[in-house]
Structure 1
Amino acid sequence: MSFATGAVVANLYYIQPLVDTLAREFHADAGRVGVLVTLLQLGYAVGLATLVPLGDLVERRWLLVTLLVGCSGGLAVMALAPTLAVIASVAVLVGLTSVAVQVIVPFAAQLAGEERRGRVVGTVMSGLLLGILLSRTVSGVLAGLVGWRWVFGIAAIVTLAVAVLLWLELPSAAPTARMSYPALLGSVLRLVRDERVLRYRMVYGACAFAAFSVFWSTAGFLLARPPYHWSETQIGLFALLGAAGAVAARFAGSLADRGHARWATLGFVAAVTISFGALLLGGHSVLALAVGVLLLDLGVQGLQITNQCVIYELRPDARARITTAYMTGYFLGGTAGSALGVAAYVLAGWTAVCVLGAVAGLVAAGVWLVERVVQARSASIAVAAAPS
């Protein structure tokens, strides 16, 4: 399951080191190519809202295979696309069907025992995070060696192979909900309304992924131009620094199992915010850029695991729908981050990108303080209402 999540989620990120290459290939400006990153994430957000809830309603193995076959077909079309418009139209389909990874994660949480659920989710998410990080390296290296079309062609083959693997290896899982599809979607909104902790975690996730996307949607432009002038291969290899995020996944899962999720949240939010100070200096210093990437990926991925460990304890019978609510907010944050990041870079350069990312981190820190105040008030009211 860990391998599958990594292999599939990579489909959303192969394009990021290629933005400058595609701009030159199709004689397009940075803004038009940056839209492709946004469309992939927008498609993913739509899939989270409409397809992931089916994990509570239908047999999960069948759902996974159906999604992955569709994703493989979309990648094949991207590999053969004659125009940027074709890539843009199919990007939505690839994003939509790549939500298979968010069917796998709650499936793993369901199969795990309660006492080790955090570590199991952390292990599966380690694969997902490595997929995100290695995707940029694989994409850059392949594009440099054999051309950008092979990146999407090989991704199509790997995704189809994952579909076969999951069909053969995963157990059959009976649905946990009995209701109509419209009622299922409506129940997602009720979960958001009823679960205050879920709402807070949605905001943390959205802010963190917005910051992450602000940087990675524009890093290709920075590194391909003065003072760096890096090739696709060099840009892809640079992304390996983000492997710190996979280390954070296991660490964050263990912290959640031991009951330290609250303070871990603050620490990871701080890492995201501080990272943009180093990234600002990274406009002219590769060392500062490396430090910023390490802090950013550590904070974003650690916060993601902490959030998921917390929300999966809320409603064990509705984990797919809780995943839908949380991850929809998460990727809408990422979509906004990508769009605003590209716009900031085009209008005002690298400094604007870093300010925007830092603001996203500061918003998350503010929400953490609000949550602490609300919890303290609730505890005081509960103590005052208790019989003496």
Structure 2
Amino acid sequence: MGDLLDRRRLIRLQFLLLAIALLLTGIALNAAILLAGLAAVGALAVVTQSLVAYGASLSAPAERGRTVGTITTGIVIGILLSRTASGILTDLAGWRAVYLTACAACLVIGCCMPRTVPQPKAGLTYGALLRSTVSLWGEPSFRESAIRAFFIFGSFGTLWSSIALPLTSRSLSHTEIGVFGLIGAAGALAAGPAGRLADRGHGQLVTLIASVLLATSWLATAHLLVGLAIGAVLLDLAVQAIHVTNQSMIYRPELGSRLIGGYMVFYSLGSGLGAIASTALYERAGWNAVCLLGAAFGVGSLVTSVRGLGWITRQDLRVRRSARASRPCESCP
């Protein structure tokens, strides 16, 4: 939609609807309303990706990785610190205060959006935009980044959806559990440097190194409590480095929101699967099994990055051969 509609109005509308969904959740009187509100919050939270696409569209190609890295750093720090803030608010005023406070924040942010933004130039119908989004799967660079996004956010969801389970068993309060979000936020600072490296053409190297770090971070995470804190920082550092690099490598101005939207489908699938699988595994087999699952997602990211080198190389060779074939023969009359 960001490639078709006025981005200013779209982002403001998304924030307004998100505020309404948060309000509905905060005042819910029964489980059905609560679940409906939470589902709406999850669906409307994609406004953050509209902001990523918007910021990238305003940046020069040489600065795009840095811009995406800066915005992504803010998003991830917000996600992690929300755990800290929600823990404190819950202990002070109950769980409803968390959603009502978030509602107020969304209203303020929506009102602070700039009055003018560049108009989209897609010139396509909504149906054509959807079809072009599906066709992105045929591009090796997009395919590699999307599959890798599935694995890294599977690992991310595995940790942050289940981290409260072993900590609660140690009788920690909501506020004390929230401190781990504060610790994990330190890893999000990797987004900026990763974006700058991607701008310099080192994206593949960043994803390889970060994928190794992602898989090995679970060795520390398996050991409560200090190891868990160290592992959380390393995991977030790796995930954000890969996430920013992925978006920087695939972004093209004419396909901005479609690329980010298609990419985020795999982000959501990975996060959802990690969350569901980790909580089920913890109940059946304990925290060590959860750590094995998170490490397996990390290995998946590493394998994808290694295979991706082959995909990109073959694509480059096809482009070069095509260019040579279309080049006029200098010796021909």
Fold conserved (TM > 0.5)? yes
Q: Is the 8 A contact 1:105 1:125 kept in 2?
A: yes
Work out the CA distance in 2 between the residues paired with 1:342 and 1:351. 12
In the superposition, the TM-score normalised over structure 2's length comes to 0.93
Which of 125, 138, 159 is residue 72 of structure 2 equivalent to?
Answer: 125
Which residue of structure 2 lines up, in the alignment, with residue 220 of structure 1? Answer: 164
Of 192, 203, 206, the residue aligned with 2:137 is: 192
Instruction: Choose which of 283, 298, 312 in structure 2 pairs with 1:346.
Output: 283
How many residues are matched?
A: 325
Cα distance in structure 2, aligned partners of 1:267 and 1:99: 28
Alignment match, 2:171: 229
Note closer, same or farther for the CA distance 1:376–1:112 as it changes in structure 2 (3 Å cut): closer
The yes-or-no answer on 1:307 pairing with 2:252 is no
1:111-150, Cα deviation, whole Å (9 max, x unpaired): 1122211111111111111111111111011111111110
Correspondence for 2:211 among 251, 255, 269: 269
Secondary structure, counterpart of 1:281 in structure 2: coil
How much does 1:97 deviate? 1.3
CA RMSD of aligned residues (A): 1.8
| Runs of 5+ consecutive residues of structure 1 not aligned to the other structure | 1-53
**Counterparts of 2:317 and 2:90, CA distance in 1:** 59
User: Which entry has the higher C-alpha Rg, 1 or 2?
Assistant: 2
**TM-score w.r.t. length of structure 1:** 0.80
Query: What percent of counterpart residues are identical?
Result: 36
User: What secondary structure, in the 3-state scheme, does the structure 1 residue paired with 2:46 have?
Assistant: helix
Which residue pairs with 1:15 in the alignment? none
**Mapped pair 1:81 → 2:23:** no
Give me the whole-angstrom Cα distance separating, in 2, the residues matched to 1:379 and 1:85: 52
**Residue 209 (structure 1) aligns with:** 153
2:257 is aligned to 320
Question: Which residues of structure 2 form unaligned runs of 5+?
Answer: none
- Matched residue, 1:294: 233
- Matching residue's letter, 1:94: V
Cα offset for 1:179?
A: 2.0
Match of 2:85 among 138, 144, 159: 138
Q: 99, 120, 125: which one pairs with 1:180?
A: 125
Q: Matched residue of 1:217: which SS?
A: helix
Residue pairs, 1:347-362, within 5 angstroms: 347-362=284-299
What's the secondary structure of 1:185's corresponding residue? helix
Deviation at 1:184, TM superposition (A): 1.3
Q: Cα–Cα, structure 1 residues 153 and 316, in superposed 2: closer, same or farther, change >3 Å? A: same
The one-character-per-residue Cα deviations of 1:225-284 (angstroms, maximum 9, x if unpaired) are: 1xx2100000112211112232101110111111111110011111110111111122xx
1:176–1:318 Cα contact (<8 Å) kept: no
**Which deviations, in whole Å up to 9, do the C-alpha atoms of 1:307-340 show, x marking residues without a partner?**
111111xx32011000111011111111111111
Counting only pairs closer than 5 Å after superposition, residues 49-198 of structure 1 correspond to structure 2 as 54-166=1-113, 169-193=114-138, 195-198=139-142
Residue 57 of structure 1 contacts residue 175 of structure 1 at CA under 8 Å; is this kept in 2? yes
* Corresponding position: 1:365 with 2:312: no
